[in-house]
Structures are given as structure tokens and as C-alpha cells.
């Protein structure tokens, strides 16, 4: 029996495979497509995802293939500078195309021992108290202890377990594709700059060799979104919006997306779980989608591994839904709000001007950037210190940096007193005695995902908190 089958080899599924393998969990990733997608849907990583890669020792790989950009102008495309002194060591956006992200995560998953089986489409499943039986399109049947659906917005796994996907249907649609253009690059840039003064859902961005990533509002909303648009449809809409079709030709791929917002009612049904777009879909405004899925996997991975390995305390796996469902609900809310602010209608434009004025207040601008980048998230761990439930940024220690100590995916007690102990949990929690001028607390207990589970200096309080996240002591 396989420990965990992951349906879907996108960023969410691959990140989850990496996290599970850190804990020795056997993982099989099933992907229906025979080859990785070559087209670029997502363009980069936000701060929290950059931190996630840093926590697992992967950031240098991503930096090698990416480009750093400032954090401003991400909320509805409203042009404001990045707030100063954000609570992170990585105050930038990392521009990196999704195929590269997919490749880097797939390489890491394979290094850790995960099996990725392409051309394997999941078509059926049945679960009982002991595990899940999965059926593939070719008739193959596989058995696993758990199944995680990371298979996108039209998730087969979600449908087969009967989880509702309520929300709002698309009201507007956008065309997206990659194609060449005959218009000189400087003229393209000038036209795009002019059009984007009023139409924020429009753009032609060069991606090399005379090819552009083209985004343009569609004429309406089609009934069958799986039907790809034609090049003529792109040309027609480019002329309608920009007054020129830029001489576009030779498309690499063409697609369409809407602004529907939907969220799975439950993230877990028995031994089947959902993550990424299988659990939530929303407009791409703010570039949050890929990041939200990667962060789902980061939250779920160690908890599911704890269940498989037999040390999970009661309710640990349930906390995946209780923590991540509200986070996605907030993303659905802010992306829908951004779509409204990007409308060219007079009413939304009036609201946009008002929001722009409010963003001149540093506190408002900071709040919205922290929302987009996910560094403002605080899970509900109950009352207590202001750090409780938040992720801790990468702080500099006397002997290195915090995130450099978290590559193995274990819990961590950062002890500035030298008087504390994690005896009984040493197999799950690293005890680091070190000091940081950036951390004004005596000690913090971090979960494997870097969120603060306890703050203080009292040994008995620590012993009371450790079982909540790491189970009963051993020995």
C-alpha cells in the first residue's frame, strides 16, 4: 500500500510531495498530462512563498532562474510604492515563470524520492476506514492510505468525493496567450502604456524572441470555457481595446479565464483531502493563485506526514481545514474586490480613486500588501503573545540565520535563555540555543511550517504546549 497518492503534478502537488518526503512518507504523484505544461500561467512568487522556499533550502535554485521586482502596485494595479520595513527578510516579488517553478519542484521531489507518474489520469476512487482505492483511465487500480486532490479547478477528486464547490460564476472573461507580433517593440510598449491608464486587464509583455504574453478582455463570457479562443478572437479584441492588433501571429498557445470565485465546502472527506485550485478558484488579480496552493501544501505536508507516521495528536490533520479555509476565503474576497476596482465603469472607477487615496496612508498600503503577499496571516491558536499563530520571519542569529535551521521540515525551539528542554520530543523538534537581536522574546516554539506555537521562558508552559502540535512525548 502506498502512503499517499497526490493527484496533480502542478506546484501544489509537487510541493506537497516534497514536504511528505522530508518525513519519509512514500509518495506517488499522478499527472494526467504526459509532458509538463510549457505555457506560462503564473508569473512569480510572493513573499511568503519565497520564505517557504528559503525555509526548505530551495531559494537559491529559484533566485538563479528568477528576477526580483519591487512589491508596489500589486493591489488592483494601483500604483503605490512598496511599504518600508515589511516584516520579512525578502521584501520583493520573484518573477519566475510557472514552468520553471514546476520543473524546480519536480526535480526536488524526485531528489527526495517521490515518484511522479505522468500520463496517469485518475478516473475513480473508493475509500474505507483503512485507505483509498484509486482507479486510473487505463484500468490500473492503486491502493493508498491517503489521497490528496491537487488536480485543479475542475478537480476530478473533488467531484468523486461529492464536495460542494459553491461561489459566484464568472461575470467577465479574459483572453490569455503567447504569440509573436510584427509591431516594433518600442511602439508596442507605448501603446500598452497608454491603454493601461484606463484598462488594467490589458497587457502585452515581451518574453523573448519577439514573442509576447498577451492579456486582453474578451467580448463576453462563453458557455464552454474549455474551448480555446482563436487568434482572430485575439485580434478582434486587441483592435477593440487598443485600436491595433499589433500584428500578432504564430500563437504558441491560447486560453481564456474568468473571474469566478468558488471554494470547496470541506478540505477533507475521510482519507481524501483537497489543496490548491481543487479547493478554491478565484480571479488571478494580485498573482495569488499559485502561491496560495504552495502554501496549502506547506501547511498540510507535515500534518499528513504525522498521521502516516503515527505521532499526530488528535485534531492535527483537522487543523488543515480550519487554518487554510479562512485564508482562501480571504483571497477570494480580495481578488473579487480587485476585479471590481479594475472595471472601467464609472462607479467602480470612483471607488478605485477613493481606495487609491486611502493607500497613501502607510498603514492601509501595508495592510493590503501583507494581504497579497500572505505575510499578514495569523492562525487562531487562542489568546496570547502577538506572535502566536504568525509565521516568524527569517531572523539573523549569532551563528547564522533561522531559516537555515529549518531545511529538514522539523519543529524548532529557538531558545535564547539556554534553560529550556524538548526532552521527549527530540525526534520531532530541534532545540537551538542561540540569540538574535531581532527577536525580543526569550524563546519561541515553531511548527514545521514556521508558525509560532508558543512564546515564553517557562519550562512547564512549554511542556503543556508541545503535545498539542507534536503528540505525546517519547520515553
Whether the Cβ atoms of residue 294 and residue 47 lie closer than 8 Å to each other:
no
Whether the Cβ atoms of residue 113 and residue 51 lie closer than 8 Å to each other: no
How does DSSP assign 18-55, residue by residue?
HHHHHTT--EEEEESSSS---S-S--EE-HHHHHHHHH
Cα angle value 217/367/449 (rounded, 5°): 95
Domains held by the chain: number: 3
CA angle 72, 75, 80 (to 5 degrees): 35
Instruction: Give me the domain span that covers residue 411.
Output: 396-470
Residues 161 and 226 in one domain: no
Gyration radius from the chain CA atoms: 23
Last residue within a domain, chosen from 209, 226, 258: 258
* Residues in the chain, total: 475
Q: What pTM, to 2 d.p., does this model score?
A: 0.94
Whether 390 maps to a domain, the answer reads: no
DSSP category for residue 146? E
CATH number at residue 7: 3.50.50.60
Q: Are residues 184 and 301 in the same domain?
A: no
In the block, which residue shows the cell 498603514? 363
Residues 250 and 266 placed together within one structural domain of the fold? no
* Of 212, 237, 258, the domain-final residue: 258
Q: Kindly state whether residue 384 falls inside one of the protein's structural domains.
A: no
The CA-atom distances, in angstroms, between 417 and each of 22, 173, 186, 420, 440 are: 29, 57, 60, 7, 12
* CATH code (residue 234): 3.30.70.2450
Whether residues 88 and 217 share a domain: the answer is: no
Look at residues 283, 286, 262, 264 and name the one whose alpha carbon lies nearest to residue 275.
Answer: 264
Examine the domain organization and report whether 51 and 74 are in the same domain: yes
| pLDDT tens per residue, range 167-182 | 999 888 999 999 999 9
Q: Is residue 320 part of a domain?
A: yes
Q: What is the pLDDT of residue 71?
A: 83
Give the separation between CA 186 and CA 206, rounded to whole angstroms.
11
**Which mean pLDDT values do the consecutive 10-residue runs of the chain (475 residues) have?**
97 98 98 83 89 98 94 85 90 92 97 97 96 96 98 96 95 92 94 91 88 90 78 95 95 89 98 98 89 98 98 97 98 94 92 95 94 96 94 96 97 97 96 96 98 97 97 87
On whether both 53 and 25 belong to a single domain, the answer is: yes
Q: Is the dihedral of CA 361, 52, 207, 175 positive or negative?
A: negative
What pLDDT score was predicted for residue 230?
93
Task: Give the CATH number for residue 465.
Answer: 3.40.30.120
Amino acid at each position: 500500500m502506498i502512503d499517499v497518492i497526490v493527484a496533480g503534478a502542478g506546484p501544489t502537488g509537487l510541493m506537497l510531495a516534497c514536504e511528505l518526503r522530508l518525513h519519509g512518507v512514500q509518495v506517488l504523484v499522478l499527472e494526467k498530462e504526459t509532458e509538463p505544461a510549457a505555457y506560462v500561467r503564473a508569473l512569480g512568487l510572493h513573499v511568503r512563498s519565497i520564505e517557504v522556499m528559503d525555509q526548505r533550502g530551495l531559494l537559491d535554485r529559484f533566485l538563479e532562474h528568477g528576477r526580483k521586482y519591487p512589491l508596489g502596485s500589486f493591489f488592483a494595479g494601483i500604483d503605490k510604492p512598496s511599504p518600508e520595513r515589511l516584516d520579512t527578510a525578502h521584501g520583493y516579488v520573484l518573477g519566475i515563470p510557472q514552468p520553471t517553478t514546476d520543473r524546480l519542484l519536480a526535480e526536488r521531489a524526485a531528489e527526495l524520492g517521490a515518484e511522479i507518474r505522468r500520463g496517469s489520469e485518475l478516473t475513480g476512487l473508493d475509500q474505507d476506514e483503512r485507505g483509498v482505492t484509486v482507479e486510473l483511465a487505463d484500468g490500473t487500480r492503486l491502493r493508498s492510505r491517503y489521497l490528496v486532490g491537487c488536480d485543479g479547478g475542475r478537480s476530478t477528486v473533488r467531484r468523486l468525493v461529492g464536495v460542494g464547490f459553491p461561489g459566484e460564476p464568472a461575470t467577465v472573461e479574459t483572453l490569455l496567450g503567447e504569440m509573436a507580433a510584427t509591431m516594433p517593440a518600442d511602439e508596442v510598449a507605448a501603446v500598452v502604456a497608454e491603454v493601461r491608464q484606463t484598462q488594467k486587464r490589458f497587457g502585452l509583455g515581451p518574453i523573448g524572441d519577439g514573442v509576447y504574453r498577451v492579456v486582453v478582455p474578451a467580448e463576453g463570457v462563453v458557455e464552454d470555457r474549455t474551448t480555446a479562443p482563436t487568434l482572430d478572437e485575439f485580434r478582434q479584441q486587441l483592435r477593440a481595446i487598443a485600436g491595433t492588433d499589433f500584428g500578432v501571429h504564430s500563437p504558441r498557445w491560447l486560453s481564456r479565464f474568468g473571474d469566478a470565485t468558488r471554494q470547496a465546502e470541506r478540505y477533507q472527506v475521510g482519507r481524501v483531502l483537497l489543496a490548491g485550485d481543487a479547493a478554491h478558484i478565484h480571479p488571478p488579480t494580485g498573482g495569488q493563485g499559485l502561491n496560495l496552493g504552495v502554501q496549502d501544501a506547506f501547511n498540510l505536508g507535515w500534518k499528513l506526514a504525522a498521521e502516516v507516521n503515527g505521532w499526530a495528536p488528535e485534531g492535527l490533520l483537522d487543523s488543515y481545514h480550519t487554518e487554510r479555509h479562512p485564508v482562501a476565503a480571504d483571497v477570494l474576497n480580495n481578488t473579487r474586490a480587485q476585479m471590481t476596482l479594475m472595471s472601467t465603469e464609472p462607479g467602480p472607477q470612483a471607488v478605485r480613486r477613493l481606495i487609491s487615496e486611502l493607500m497613501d496612508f502607510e498603514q492601509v498600503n501595508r495592510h493590503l500588501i501583507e494581504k497579497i503577499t500572505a505575510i499578514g496571516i495569523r492562525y487562531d491558536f487562542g489568546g496570547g503573545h502577538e506572535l502566536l499563530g504568525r509565521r516568524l520571519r527569517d531572523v539573523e542569529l549569532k551563528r547564522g540565520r533561522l531559516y537555515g535551521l529549518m531545511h529538514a521540515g522539523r519543529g524548532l525551539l529557538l531558545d535564547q535563555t539556554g534553560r529550556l528542554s524538548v526532552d521527549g520530543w527530540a525526534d520531532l523538534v530541534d532545540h537551538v540555543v542561540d540569540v538574535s537581536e531581532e527577536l525580543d522574546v526569550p524563546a519561541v516554539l515553531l511548527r514545521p511550517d514556521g508558525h509560532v506555537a508558543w512564546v515564553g521562558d517557562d519550562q512547564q508552559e512549554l511542556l503543556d504546549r508541545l503535545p498539542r502540535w507534536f503528540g505525546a512525548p517519547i520515553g
